[in-house]
Structure 1
């Protein structure tokens, strides 16, 4: 049964696409067929995992796999960190909730998933899944082989690892294809962080693992659409053909585990450093502006972000009464990374936020589109294709806008669907 909130999400979907068109380099080249196809692919993917009979079994399997990975990762963390990671406590604990430590309970999961992903890639399991999605994107959205493979790789790998998969074709990509690769990289998340997000939300959102997985998959077509709207492909260009070979290779299973762990360690160190610095900067800003009273309370960056992003959150289909808090989460994602935003979303008690808003925010937050990722993208692509660094720098802020809007578009598509699908 459709409601006004569903219509609100549909309106938001139109506004998001219109905003991208407003920044288009060629407004006459609006891809109508791609727009309909991308939204159709998004809706079909959501329905496939939530509405088709038997899909709940799949979701239960995903949740069970995440739970199993969480237990396994905690065993490894407890072996190294002992009671700090949730092992046997040497003293009586008065506050069980205070035992949860982000560094010891969440970050080790990224190491385990990174190593496992590398092993599955070496065994060709993840590679063939990626190729399957690449084939689908190539046939349904008219992407060139190399672009389609990069888009598919972004669903499971990071925004820098996925270009490595098509490294042999980077010099053949057009400006539009490079922009598309950047946007999709910012609109999705890596498999290693998906599980961490699901772990953070598992206590407050039913089927959290399924929602996070679907969010990253479904945001890929949204990123493709918005990228094609903002920087359309010129007639006669593009379509670099890939033979689906890959530059991402490992010598053996052990080599995959070792290198995957090393890559995961870099991710963990980057996340830890960024969280420390950005949270400290927010605290510093709050100290500087806290003397300013607004409506009887001290002004904080969180309140400012809530006001600025209130209409943005509302456009996804969030109720007006909750749009302020949801808007704050979107602002946190953009400035402090999606990791902080997911942590804050997980802290909101179930009674203080509706399940619909929490679900929509899960989709809206599930992407690497934040200010910190701008530097990571520029640095990574500059190493992979130094001759096109200026081109990347000229498009990076547009890519950030498109990547941020892609997850909002995904949330709007989900919000436009009847609530009974997710029951």
Structure 2
């Protein structure tokens, strides 16, 4: 046992788990109202999920089959991409892999596919079954559980649609679950896009599943239940598709997927450009500082936003058991994910040549979530549009949601690191 914990510095993962839960407790809005039984149940379920998927044959078989199915869908996606873009979508040519022609169109396809599955009530059925399993185990209400589970399949603005009739009567604690679970996961269309880029799909899927109990755990520490649960007395009604028929669902899903792809592409253009501009300005200031002997020469080449954020994220990379250059790169990736978004962090991760396959697997969990500053605005605009009278609360909980989502992802990474 001792030798196992010493291997890959796994003992630090236990320290990390304690540290993450302690940080959540420190920022809790009602520390002495925390339901320890609920927290323990959520943590056990989170650990059990990781163990079953990663260490048992049945768990690995199920996830591998899902991954194989998703991979097969890429082939069908490629038919439309090749027809529209021709050889530009063939990465074997001289121009290589072009993100705009290989990844963004996948979001359009899966937007349509998700809409069809929603219209046929397949998504609602799966989410309902999982919600029925999770709710009695964790003692959560039907509305908050349903939204937390749905976030593993849909986006952080789509999932609240399933409980939109209950948002106005939710307690502050339930609203925190809605927001944190949205920050701690990524949508199905984004998952498939990440996998197509080269991020391990099995670990992406496992992370989304683990984030359901994990986000509830962190949310209930940050904002324990102290109010009368009005929503718990109501039955969550099934949500029907807004499309009249399957063709309408395809059209709506395609347009939604197109909007998502355009938003992602536009954000990449602006964020990458602005990041390069800021890094250029910092590099210039650093060079001037070195020339006038105000800064040590060792600062040259290290004056960038990623490096600065990486310094603050270094302790989290340390408790993941990483050492040396891997720890430095991992810290920068975590900082990039929180400050900008997870997509840029994954791009940097895949382009790094210093990370081992095990480290890439661990970082897949640490980065698999929407928890970044820009998503505060997305939740205010998305959830706030569904329940305008609670917009002030959503604004108030914005930074808490980013913190909760980030802690959930890091907790997933620490737990998984104990098993791989």
Q: Give the alignment's TM-score, normalised by structure 1.
A: 0.91
Q: 1:158-204, CA deviations, whole angstroms, 9 ceiling, x for partnerless residues?
A: 001011111111112111111110010000111111111111125xx
How far apart in 2 are the matches of 1:85 and 1:141?
Answer: 46
| Partners of 1:167 and 1:247 within 8 A in 2 | no
101, 108, 112: which one aligns with 1:111: 108
> Which position in structure 2 is the counterpart of 1:226?
218
The alignment covers a number of residue pairs equal to 404
> Which position in structure 2 is the counterpart of 1:246?
239
Task: Measure how far apart 1:310 and its partner are.
Answer: 1.2
Closer, same or farther in 2 for the Cα pair 1:125/1:247, shift >3 Å? Answer: closer
Task: Measure how far apart 1:34 and its partner are.
Answer: 2.0
Q: 1:270-291, CA deviations, whole angstroms, 9 ceiling, x for partnerless residues?
A: 1111111111111011110113
Q: 1:73-97, CA deviations, whole angstroms, 9 ceiling, x for partnerless residues?
A: 122111111121228x9xxx5x4xx
> Which position in structure 2 is the counterpart of 1:205?
none
> Which position in structure 1 is the counterpart of 2:280?
287
Asked if 1:42 is matched to 2:46, the reply is yes
How far apart in 2 are the matches of 1:225 and 1:60?
Answer: 27
| Partners of 1:185 and 1:368 within 8 A in 2 | yes
247, 261, 271: which one aligns with 2:264: 271
How far apart in 2 are the matches of 1:11 and 1:35?
Answer: 18
How far apart in 1 are the matches of 2:259 and 2:380?
Answer: 17
In structure 1, list runs of 5 or more residues that go unmatched: 203-207
Task: Measure how far apart 1:400 and its partner are.
Answer: 1.0
Task: Measure how far apart 1:58 and its partner are.
Answer: 2.7
> Which position in structure 2 is the counterpart of 1:384?
386
SS of the counterpart of 1:274?
A: helix
SS of the counterpart of 2:31?
A: coil
> Which position in structure 2 is the counterpart of 1:7?
11
How far apart in 1 are the matches of 2:395 and 2:60?
Answer: 44
| Partners of 1:20 and 1:229 within 8 A in 2 | yes
| Partners of 2:38 and 2:138 within 8 A in 1 | yes
In structure 2, list runs of 5 or more residues that go unmatched: 288-296
| Partners of 2:171 and 2:227 within 8 A in 1 | no
5 Å matches for 1:84-99?
Answer: 84-86=88-90, 93=93, 95=94, 98-99=95-96
49, 58, 63: which one aligns with 2:62: 58
| Partners of 1:13 and 1:409 within 8 A in 2 | yes
How far apart in 1 are the matches of 2:360 and 2:230?
Answer: 39
Task: Measure how far apart 1:247 and its partner are.
Answer: 5.2
SS of the counterpart of 2:152?
A: helix
Task: Measure how far apart 1:319 and its partner are.
Answer: 3.0
5 Å matches for 1:16-415?
Answer: 16-86=20-90, 93=93, 95=94, 98-202=95-199, 208-234=200-226, 236-240=228-232, 241-246=234-239, 248-291=241-284, 292-293=286-287, 295=298, 297-298=300-301, 299-349=303-353, 352-415=354-417
Q: 1:46-71, CA deviations, whole angstroms, 9 ceiling, x for partnerless residues?
A: 22222222444333322322221222
How far apart in 2 are the matches of 1:331 and 1:187?
Answer: 15
Task: Measure how far apart 1:324 and its partner are.
Answer: 0.8
SS of the counterpart of 1:236?
A: coil
Task: Measure how far apart 1:321 and its partner are.
Answer: 4.2
How far apart in 2 are the matches of 1:193 and 1:3?
Answer: 34
